[in-house]
Structure 1
Amino acid sequence: MFKKILLILTILSLIGCKATKPVIVTTKKAPVKPKSEVVRTIKKTNTSSTNATNPILSNPVKKEQSNRETEVIVSTSKTVVTNDVVVAYVSQFKDIAMGNMRNYGIPASIILAQGILESGAGRGDLAINANNHFGIKCHEGWTGESVKHDDDAAQECFRKYNNPSESFKDHALFLTGRSRYSKLFGFSKGDYKAWAKGLRVAGYATDPRYPDKLISYIERYQLHQYDIQVLDVNYVSNEQQMVKELTIESKNPISQGLVSYVVQKGDTLYSISKKFDLKIEDLKQKNNLSDNTLSIGQRLVVK
């Protein structure tokens, strides 16, 4: 009897040991799971917070930098302009450029890009004093007015026009009337890259980077959109109205009285303002200057 009781107790003891093992395993696993969940939750919270704040902080900064960005355009004169000046130039002359594209087959994007580059977005010496927006020299056979300007050589002869619209028209006639540019008109009107490279090959400019500069302006200021508009069958030109407005503007004594000055070594805004009896702020406003920085050779409108 005693042996039976001892055997039963032994069996019960073994069963009790086996029953406690799962409890031990469960206890070990329980803390591990919450720890991993907490870590993941923290990481997700940080990541989403960062992603949410970045656009709010970055967009205004980029916009502000874009509006204040300046560049030096070097063509027939060295001109410092801001993005706003270039945008205003495009807005002013896009209709004439599109009209010339329709009438002469030259892409509007190319016309505008050349105008920006050659005239310093309308702020260069030739544009101000001669309404010459494309740096076209007198060449043989020119019987119109002219001005002297230092370019590849000293005091070269450049064409002078009564208003900018005459310059834009003469640019079209210049390209269509010379055999060396005839290959350009074999390119698609929508292929501004081919036109940019073709102008350099034909000898319009000696700068090997001329095509890249034109393409850069076209793409940065989305000038190709005007080619697309003209190529649309529903395009209606607004050229005549723009020519009329520019002609009236050219007869305004104020616009005819513009005078420019080339910055010399040692010049400051203060010394130039005194020389031409101007306030510094007025001088900065006339030339769209955001600070007092000047560079030798820079051309400023002073009257």
Structure 2
Amino acid sequence: MVKKIITFLILATLVSCSSSKPTIATTKKAAAVQRPRVATTKKQAPVKPIGKNYPSTNNTTEVIQSTSKTVVTSDLINNYILQFKDIAMGNMQKYGIPASIILAQGILESGAGKGDLALDANNHFGIKCHNDWLGESVRHDDDSAQECFRKYTEASESYRDHALFLVGKKRYASLFTYEKDDYKAWAKGLRACGYATDPNYPDKLISYIERYNLHQYDCQVTGRNYKPFEKSTPPAKSPSNSNSNVNPNDPNLYEVQKGDTLYSISKKFNVLVDDLKQKNNLSDNALSIGQKLKVK
């Protein structure tokens, strides 16, 4: 009996010792997760193109006299050139008309795309209907009131029709005897063939060609080397006002307003266009806004 009691006490002691043994908890360290680094860049302002395709000029303002008077800037003209230079070079390759002449005429006749006919009818060359035109048309005051001008769906059609107009009319045949890139001969030839009545028309075309380096597009077609003009020719001057010294309060004088033509003024004062031209020593129908005309 005593042995059983002693044995029981020994077993109880052993059990209590094993239950008091400290427990060690282990945890597995999780691997650190790194987030990807996002690279940031500072947004830069757009860079204005320069070089041959965008001649560097001061952003000056000038008035272009076409079928309407249009105030434009040199930047506007540059943008016009960039928009239509490829069409002009394509027409040069296909029809033999200098790209420089095409662009210069487009600038002058359309007011760099901002003239009334360009905006209303996509007509960039001031081409009138004539008897062979079967397309749409618009009416616009020019040498006479409400003359018929061709209307196009888009400007590229006007460029194509301009080429076909020159190629298809016999009176312009002499132009195609000139060298493709002789823009000075073409400018003078257009005036001689009757494309425009303005005696300064050739000088205006040449001025645009040389100020805006349009001859480079002729050279791209012909493969010849091009040298940019270092000195720009000053803008073509508006027709001089022969009555600038006359008293502005004179009731016999009329100040030309935007949209006026010799024809509209002649109707307003019941005089003939030829009489107006004679009274004011005008050699053509070109007018300038603010110009004073003798009307009586």
Which TM-score bucket, shorter chain as reference?
0.5 to 0.7
Larger Rg over CA atoms: 2
> Which of residues 140, 153, 158 is equivalent to 2:131?
140
Q: Work out the CA distance in 1 between the residues paired with 2:145 and 2:160.
A: 27
Q: Work out the CA distance in 2 between the residues paired with 1:166 and 1:84.
A: 24
Q: Tell me the residue number matched to 2:72.
A: 81
Q: Does 1:170 align with 2:147?
A: no
Structure 1 residues 210-267: Cα deviation after superposition (integer angstroms, max 9, x where no partner): 000000000000000000000129xxxxxxxxxxxxxxxxxxxxxxxxxxxx9589xx
The structure-2 alpha-carbon separation of the partners of 1:204 and 1:264, relative to structure 1 and needing over 3 Å to count, comes to closer
TM-score w.r.t. structure 2 length? 0.57
Q: Does 1:203 align with 2:199?
A: no
> Which of residues 109, 114, 119 is equivalent to 1:123?
114
Q: Work out the CA distance in 1 between the residues paired with 2:100 and 2:91.
A: 11
> Which of residues 99, 104, 124 is equivalent to 2:95?
104
Matches within 5 A, 1:4-15: none
Matches within 5 A, 1:205-284: 205-232=196-223
Q: What is the percentage of aligned positions where both structures have the same residue?
A: 71
Is this contact kept in 1: 2:69–2:259, CA < 8 A? no
Q: Work out the CA distance in 2 between the residues paired with 1:172 and 1:162.
A: 17
Q: Is there any run of 5+ residues in structure 2 with no aligned partner, and where? A: 1-55, 225-256, 261-288, 292-296
TM-score w.r.t. structure 1 length? 0.56
Count, aligned residues:
176
Q: Work out the CA distance in 1 between the residues paired with 2:57 and 2:84.
A: 22
The structure-2 alpha-carbon separation of the partners of 1:94 and 1:264, relative to structure 1 and needing over 3 Å to count, comes to closer
Q: Tell me the residue number matched to 1:68.
A: 59
Is this contact kept in 1: 2:128–2:150, CA < 8 A? yes
Q: What secondary structure, in the 3-state scheme, does the structure 2 residue paired with 1:73 have?
A: strand
Paired amino acid for 1:101? M
Structure 1 residues 266-297: Cα deviation after superposition (integer angstroms, max 9, x where no partner): xxxxxxxxxxxxxxxxxxxxxxxxxxxxx679
Q: Work out the CA distance in 1 between the residues paired with 2:167 and 2:125.
A: 15
Structure 1 residues 185-224: Cα deviation after superposition (integer angstroms, max 9, x where no partner): 0000110000000000000000000000000000000000
Q: Work out the CA distance in 1 between the residues paired with 2:290 and 2:154.
A: 29
Q: Tell me the residue number matched to 2:84.
A: 93
Q: Does 1:181 align with 2:144?
A: no
The structure-2 alpha-carbon separation of the partners of 1:263 and 1:210, relative to structure 1 and needing over 3 Å to count, comes to closer
Q: What secondary structure, in the 3-state scheme, does the structure 2 residue paired with 1:218 have?
A: helix
Could you tell me how far 1:68 is from its partner in structure 2? 3.2
Could you tell me how far 1:66 is from its partner in structure 2? 4.8
Q: Work out the CA distance in 2 between the residues paired with 1:89 and 1:114.
A: 12
Structure 1 residues 157-181: Cα deviation after superposition (integer angstroms, max 9, x where no partner): 0000000000000000000000000
Q: Work out the CA distance in 2 between the residues paired with 1:264 and 1:188.
A: 38
Q: Work out the CA distance in 1 between the residues paired with 2:77 and 2:126.
A: 17
Is this contact kept in 1: 2:175–2:189, CA < 8 A? yes
Paired amino acid for 2:215? H
Q: Does 1:160 align with 2:151?
A: yes
Q: What secondary structure, in the 3-state scheme, does the structure 1 residue paired with 2:162 have?
A: helix
Q: Is there any run of 5+ residues in structure 1 with no aligned partner, and where? A: 1-64, 234-261, 266-294, 298-303
Structure 1 residues 7-64: Cα deviation after superposition (integer angstroms, max 9, x where no partner): xxxxxxxxxxxxxxxxxxxxxxxxxxxxxxxxxxxxxxxxxxxxxxxxxxxxxxxxxx
- When the two chains are superposed, the root-mean-square deviation of aligned CA atoms in Å is 2.1
Q: Work out the CA distance in 2 between the residues paired with 1:216 and 1:98.
A: 19
